[in-house]
Every structure is written in C-alpha cells, then in structure tokens.
Structure 1
Amino acid sequence: MSAHLFPPGIPRIKRVFDLFVTIPAIILSSPLLGVIAVLVRAKLGRPVIFRQERPGLNGKIFTLYKFRSMRDAFDGTGRPLPDQERLTSFGRKLRAFSLDELPELWNVLRGEMSWVGPRPLLVKYLDRYSPEQARRHAVLPGITGWAQINGRNALTWEDKFKLDVWYVDHWSPGLDLKILVLTIWKVLRREGITAPGQATAGEFTGTPSELNSHH
C-alpha cells in the first residue's frame, strides 16, 4: 500500500483500531463485495467502482472508492442529468444500507480514511468553507461520523459542519466506538439517507457570511 502503516498526524490508537477492524472486515465481506460487484455490472454497467478525488487529512487529495449507484444519463448539451434522474431503484437500495460505501474499506486500509470522521466531500468545496468549517480537515475523513448519526443528509450543511468540528474537538476512542454502534442502528432504521426533497445531499454553495465576503 502506498500510504504509511502509521501515517503522520493520526493518533496511533485510532490507526491501530482501524487496522484491527478493517483487515477482518475486508476478509469477511469479500463474498458480499463480489455479489454487489456482479449486480452493479449487470444493472448499471461499467465501471463498477466509482472513483473520485476528495480532500482528506489537512486537505490532502486522495482517490475515494465506492460502488457505482447511478446510471449514465445526459441532457442535450452533454451535461449529466440531476442525481434524482440518474439514481436507480437498485442504487437507492445500495445507498439505503450504505452498501455503496464498502469499497472505502480500501481507503481505510491505506490510511487515507478512518472508520469514523467527517465525511470526505468534494474538492470544489475547499474554498467555500469558513475558517471554522475548514477545521473538519484536521482529522482523517471517515466512513461514518458524528454528523451521520445525528441527521446525516437530512441536516443543513451548516449543522453538518458544526457537528464535524465538534467531533474534531472532542475525539476519543470511546466516542469513535459510540459512533460505530449508533451507525449500525441508524443504517438498519434507514434514517437521514437523503436531504428533504432531494435524491442525494444538495450542493454546498458556501455559508452566507462567506458568500458576502467574496463580493
């Protein structure tokens, strides 16, 4: 793997926990990963794995891996159709149970992500954060996080970022364990999967104060 076994800037106990959980998780989930890959190939075609650059610890860019959940569909100008038109019923089921996130185990193994941390968002958001919101990048991004168990995509962006920064300031091994346990409960209940009136989370355009400061 290209990343260090213990990347600098990451608490050693957090990294040990990630490795301790991730290695057996990859082994045990291999049959499920294979089945999902075959279904994605049959229902959505290639590529099976969705790859996208995301900012990680301290804003460093890495490649995120997920199972593909949307079909290719474009308008007359060649631009992709809105998410709600490209997200299939099969893709919705993958997202409902967070099965599309399983390939991120590879990102955790590489030290680019953790089991718990703020979700890695789009690179284009980096210059839209306020200085306070940007502190979410002071820790590794996670498969799940404090915001995910407190509303997930049903939250406003501002509320998500407040929860992300709260996690940065209050991180502990016990908090990570609590978040993981509550994540299982939230996934089973399928809570907060989408933003109100949207198929996925809406785009973050910046906080009002930040937008005003650019004019």
Structure 2
Amino acid sequence: MKNTAKHQGLRNQLAKLLEEKGITDKNVLEAIKTIPRHLFLNSSFEDFAYQDKAFPIAADQTISQPYTVAFQSQLLEVKKEDKILEIGTGSGYQTAVLCAMGATVYTIERQNELFKKTSLLLPKLGIRPKKVIFGDGYKGLPEFAPFDGIIVTAGAPFIPQPLMAQLKVGGKLVIPLGEEHQIMTMLIRKNETQFEKHEFGEFRFVPLLENKN
C-alpha cells in the first residue's frame, strides 16, 4: 500500500489536466490531489492509475474516469458536512473523493464482491464514510434521508422515484441517464413536488443493475 512522492506528483499532474478540461471547483481538485487512486486499482493497472481513463475492477464493473468523478463531484457543489448518498460504491474511489471534500457519505453497493472488498479497503486508507451498505441502489436509504446530494455512479434507464423522494429541498441529484450512452443529468429539488432539470452532455457508464440481492 505504497503512496510515494512520485504518486503525489502524478496526482498533481492529473489535477492540472482536469483543470484544463474545465474542472474549476478547488475542493474537487484538492481531493483529486489527495486520494491515492492507484490503491483502488488492481496492481497490474498501477502504472496507469493517474491517466484520465476508466479501468476494469472486480465483478465486471469499472473505476470511473477521473474527469467523470470530478465532473459529478463538481455538480454536487459539496459543502462541509453535507449529507451525500452515493449509489454504487464500486471501487470506493468516488466515495473517497467525496469524503476528502468534507461530505458525510452514505454509500450503497449491490455487488457483494465489491461491497466486501471496498468495505475493507476504505478504513485501511483512513477513509471513513458514515455508512457502507450492501443493498439495492434503486431504493436508496430512506432511513437516513433526506440528503443534501445524491450521486449515481452507474447508467440508469430512468430516475428512481425513491431517490427523488430522499432529496432535501434545495438538494441535487446527479445521475447518468440512458441505456447505451448516458446523458449526465442533474435534478434540483425546488419544493415538495417540483424539480428543475439540467443536462450536461454524454458520458459512458456501466449499467445500474436492479434486484440483484
């Protein structure tokens, strides 16, 4: 579990690249500089960890491209101690970025293999989300709602109703919508019944799977 000055240099370069690509939130860029992405990857990918690319992880899933992680994190506009629900813990890298940004993170993963692996990895790295839960992301976590922000890290064919219900008024839901290709979509809850919708172009994600548990 080495994290050397060389790794730090590569992270600084990655943050600079993301800034050139339009990431302006200093909180996001600092988190990218802090979190050792190479430790979230299979060791065979370690040399490529700070490229702006997605890589395979266990259970046919991927670790998202750093730009995608940074883009989604920036849309959330995280303030210190904001309560954030993450749907799809995956490798734990996005979780770690949100924690580094000062969020109180609740994260849910439905692939048991990934859930077990990531639950062990995060504390080893000194990263402590509030809850790491094995469950169905489509249902969210009503017992811990409402949330300041909800981030979905897999492509969803539709916006799950329970997630909309678990958002605070003024809160943001960031979700990639679509089957083959996804449109990054943000909903802002205006009041009990109204949501404002924004779209931010095309991204590619693995699908958000349902009823696996």
Q: TM-score range by the shorter chain?
A: under 0.3
Q: TM-score, normalised by structure 1?
A: 0.28
Q: TM-score, normalised by structure 2?
A: 0.28
Q: Over alpha carbons, which structure has the higher Rg? A: 1
Q: Which has the higher contact order (CA 8 A, sep 6+)?
A: 1
Question: Which structure: greater strand fraction?
Answer: 2
